[in-house]
Amino acid sequence: MWFSASTSWWAPSGTVAGRAGAITSAADSLQIRLFGRGAHGSMPQASIDPVVMAAATVMRLQTIVSREIAAAEAAVVTIGVLQAGTKENVIPDEAIIKLNVRTFDADVRTRVLAAIERIVNAEAAASGAPRKPEITSLDHYPLNVNDREASKRVVDSFRGHFGADRVRETGPAPASEDFGSFGTEWHVPSVFWFVGGTDPETYAKAKTANKLTELPVNHSPKFAPVLHPTLQTGVETLVVATRAWLPA
C-alpha cells in the first residue's frame, strides 16, 4: 500500500480532498526541434524562417483539443517553451518548442501524440524545411489511479478524524504525479489525495467574487500555501491513513 498527498491552491487550508479512480492525469513532455535556413533580417527571401514555422506550429497545435478531441473526452496541450534566435535582425536556422500533454484515457493520449507529430511534420513540409523536425520525449508520467477499496478505507478514516465537513470529493485533476508509477508499474494499491493550502478567508472572498481562477496556482511564483494549518493537516493525513491499516 502506498500513500501520498499534494498541497493544492483550489481548496482552503485545513481541508482534504480525493476520489476513487483516476485522480491525476497522465503527462507527456516533448521537445520539438524545427530546422530552417538562417539569413540576414533584410533578406528574408534567402531564408526558411523557423520562427514563422514555429509560430504556425504553435497555433495549429491549439486545434488538437478544440477540433480533434470530443467534448466528452479530456486533454490539455500546453506549449511552455518557444525559443528561436538571439538577434533581432538575424533569422535563425532553427527553433525549439517544448510542450506538455495531459490525458485521462490511453486512446485519447495516442490520438493527441499522433496529431502533434502529424502537425509538426506538416508545418515543416509546408515551410520547405531542409529536414524533418526532431521530436524528443522529455518525460512521461502515467495516469494516477486510486484503488477503490483502499480509497474508501482512507476516506472513512479521514472523516472519523477530521469530520465530514473537512473531507471533500474532487474530480480528476489535470495535474500529474510520478506517484502514479507505484500503482501502475508495480501493480499495488495506492491512494493519493490533496490538502488545501489557501488561506480560508482569501479563498472565501475569491469564491464569493467568482475569482477562484485568479488565486496563485502550483508553479506560479506567487504560489505560497499558508503554513498553518496546511502543514499540520498534511502530516495528520499521512498518520491517519497509515493507522487505518494497523491492527486495532
Q: 194-235 pLDDT, tens per residue?
A: 999 999 999 999 999 999 989 988 888 988 899 999 999 999
- Cα–Cα distance list, 174 to 76, 125, 138 (Å): 8, 33, 19
Kindly report, residue by residue over 155-174, the tens digit of the pLDDT. 999 999 999 999 999 999 98
Per-residue confidence (pLDDT) for residue 187, from 0 to 100: 86
Neighbouring C-beta atoms of residue 95, cutoff 10 Å = 24
Strands 94-103 and 167-169: unpaired
The rounded mean pLDDT for the chain is: 94
Q: Is the pLDDT of residue 4 over 80?
A: no
Which range, of 7-16, 20-29, 41-50, 71-80, averages the lowest pLDDT?
7-16
pLDDT at site 66 = 97
**Local structure of residue 208 (DSSP, 8 states):** H
What would the pLDDT profile of 57-74 be if each residue is shown by its tens digit?
A: 999 999 999 999 999 999
* pLDDT at residue 9 greater than cutoff 70: no
Distances (CA, A) of 67 to 20, 70, 142, 148, 225: 30, 8, 25, 34, 37
pLDDT of residue 246: 87
Residues 13, 225: contact at Cβ < 8 Å? yes
Q: What is the largest CA-CA distance in the chain?
A: 79
Residue 242 has pLDDT above 90, yes or no: yes
Q: Give the model confidence (pLDDT) of 117-158 as tens digits.
A: 999 999 999 999 999 999 999 999 999 999 999 999 999 999
Of the candidate ranges 1-5, 19-23, 36-40, the one whose mean pLDDT is the lowest? 1-5
